[in-house]
Amino acid sequence: MRQVAVTAYETVDVADLTVNEAAALESTGVVAVRPTRTSGSWTVTAGAHVGVVTVGELELRIRPRIKVARLIFLLGYATDRQVWRDDPVGLDDQVDLWPAMAQVFARSADRATQRGLLQGYRTEETMAGVLRGRIIEAEQLRRQAGIPTPLHVRYDEYDVDIAENRILLAAIIRLLRVKRLPAESVRRLRHLSGQFADVTPLNPGQRLPSTPKSRLNSNYQPAIALARMVLGSRSIDVLDKGVKATGFLVNMNTVFEDFVAVALSESLARFGGHATSQDRGHTLDHGARVRFRPDLVYYQRPPIPAAVVDAKYKAEAPAGYPYADIYQMLAYCVGLNLPTGHLVYAEGGRPARRIRVRHVGTEIVQHALDLSAPVSDLLAQIDRVAAELAAP
């Protein structure tokens, strides 16, 4: 199988693809595929997704524009900021997401289970020939219509088949489906899989169960956060013109938006009020037909909005920041009756840019985060944006 690498938002030439293979790759919606003047040669342009896509004999690895360790930090911080306070260690030589994710997850799951799997109580409801727990009388009457057995009972079971272990097992199964992982990671994942033999696998597409934090599962929290990151990735499995395309991908737009929303919400908490991400409760028109949903709305004195933020992880337009973002933010400011709107980009190395709109006086502030900076510096950049949002 051939391997071809491309960085997000960049283009690579791929030779020896059939028309059907190119169509299958295009149908994933992850990349744009265009023919060149040479027969069998195509240009493949990546978008916001990073990960791996396989079609025919081609394995396309889409790499992030930032270091993989920093990408995993961003994912982890948005998932559980109390667990993820720094980059994962030992990933300096990794350039592809899934080998790095497998390495970090296997290491974390090993630590979580080194003293054995976590046990806990779970509630079971079933039909039984003997009484166990208590009879559910309404179900017994409905199902059995007066027949004494079997009994519809509910009881508590104490074992390893609990939500925390089911989530870890689901992540192990997902990672083992990724092709060409390093042999050491595959060995560790298979060893972990054997430890979970008494755990019920989650059904495909099943909503992940909740795992409230407690003293008992505290050592599981880093592994659970990683497992949720793995299971939150996009899985591709499409058939187009007889050619199958499969893949595991992460959308960098979503990663950046989630990180900015979580980090800003945390920083804004010191100023009082509250921040709401993906706030759905706003409309642009009097008829409430034109709805909009900013990435973050900050309420210093609810219910009146104090600031609005939209995060943008994407390539710049040739002449600078994309104008469409400015138009969008202007609409948010009008709809929320705010004098200032804030755009946050994943483009470091430049000061904030301010645009004052003619006639209405609305100001659009464009902030640029340097994602390559040390974590402490990156969070300090977030704090500076938060301070400006909360300023009177």
Q: Where are the domains of the chain?
A: 1-63+235-250, 66-119+160-232, 120-159, 272-390
Residues 6+ apart with CB under 8 A from 375: 73, 85, 86, 87
Checking if the pLDDT of 318 tops 50, the result is no
* DSSP-derived 3-state class of residue 266: helix
Residues 6+ apart with CB under 8 A from 292: 282, 283, 284, 331, 332, 335
Residue 320 gets which letter from DSSP?
Answer: B
pLDDT at position 149, please? 66
Q: What's the CA gap between 42 and 60, in Å, rounded? A: 13
Helices (H), 64-182: 68-79, 97-112, 137-144, 163-176
Q: Which has the minimum average pLDDT: 66-80, 261-275, 302-316, 350-364?
A: 302-316
pLDDT at position 142, please? 61
Checking if the pLDDT of 161 tops 70, the result is yes
CATH architecture designation of domain 272-390: 3-Layer(aba) Sandwich (3.40)
The number of beta carbons lying within 10 Å of the beta carbon of residue 171 is: 26
The answer to whether the beta carbons of residues 318 and 300 sit under 8 Å apart is no
Closest CA to 252 of 50, 107, 30, 60: 50
Q: Are strands 120-128 and 151-159 parallel, antiparallel or unpaired?
A: antiparallel
pLDDT tens digits, 274-300: 999 999 889 999 999 999 999 999 999
More confident residue, 322 or 18: 18
User: Which string of DSSP letters, residue by residue, matches 171-208?
Assistant: HHHHHHTSTT--HHHHHHHHHHHHHTTTSPPPPTTPPP
Checking if the pLDDT of 374 tops 80, the result is yes
pLDDT tens digits, 10-50: 999 999 899 999 999 999 999 999 999 898 899 999 999 99
The answer to whether the beta carbons of residues 263 and 312 sit under 8 Å apart is no
Phi, psi of 40 (to 5 degrees): 80, 0
